[in-house]
Structure 1
Amino acid sequence: MPRRKSTEEENSGEPTFEQALGSLEAIVDAMEHEHLPLEELVEHYEKGSALLTRCEAILQSARGRIELITLRNQSEISLDAGLKSAEHQGLLTPTDPPEDPDDDNDIRLF
């Protein structure tokens, strides 16, 4: 299923990764298989270079987002492991709420 463009992407006027890559592939194909005058080859090269820069920027951004997600997941796993270790050692029980030292009432609803 295709991803919906964000408002930022729609307003930027910049091509998506897929659009930029498709255009870049078309430029490379034209440069390799067509007999173009030098001026057109230079124009294609210039446009292709800009598209390549756009693709690399999008990939770098995606890579950074993936690294953040991975770090966040590792932190959550680490925290979960720490809680399970504390439960296993009898320091915490998952069903008992933390005790309030100022609470003299023995009535508990949960």
Structure 2
Amino acid sequence: MSETPVEEMSFEAAMAELEKVLGQLERGDVALDESIALYERGAALKARCEAKLKEAEEKVAAITLDGDGTPEGLKPVSGL
């Protein structure tokens, strides 16, 4: 497991580590205590990925298009 705090990870880093965590849990070759720690880390990584995806969706939704469909600016979005 990475020592990087989950809340500081990029989407890509969190997703890569989540895949490793899932692989370890699926193999089932870790002790119970380690499995619990992996599960907790995995849950935090999943939440981080979901939050980063939501941020990206909100940014995309804030892009305004002109009549031709060309991006022309951003509309204000609360919370950003």
Structure 2 length normalisation: TM-score?
0.72
Partner of 2:15: 21
Structure ranking higher on relative contact order (CA contacts 8 Å, 6+ apart): 2
Residue 15 of structure 1, CA deviation: 0.8
Give 1:40 shift: 0.5
Larger Rg: 1
CA-based RMSD of the aligned residues comes to 1.5
Q: Pick from 40, 57, 65: which aligns with 2:59?
A: 65
Question: How far apart are the structure 2 equivalents of 1:58 and 1:43?
Answer: 23
Aligned residues, how many? 62
Using the TM superposition, give the Cα deviation of residue 29 of structure 1 relative to its aligned residue in structure 2, in angstroms. Answer: 0.3
CA deviation string 1:34-75 (max 9, x = no partner):
411111000000000000000000000000111111xx11xx
* TM-score normalised to structure 1 length: 0.53
Q: Structure 2 unaligned segments of length 5 or more: list them.
A: 1-6, 69-80
* Structure with the larger strand share: 2
Secondary structure of 1:77 counterpart: coil
Match of 2:67 in 1: 77
Structure 1, unpaired ranges of 5+: 1-12, 79-110
Secondary structure of the equivalent of 2:8? coil
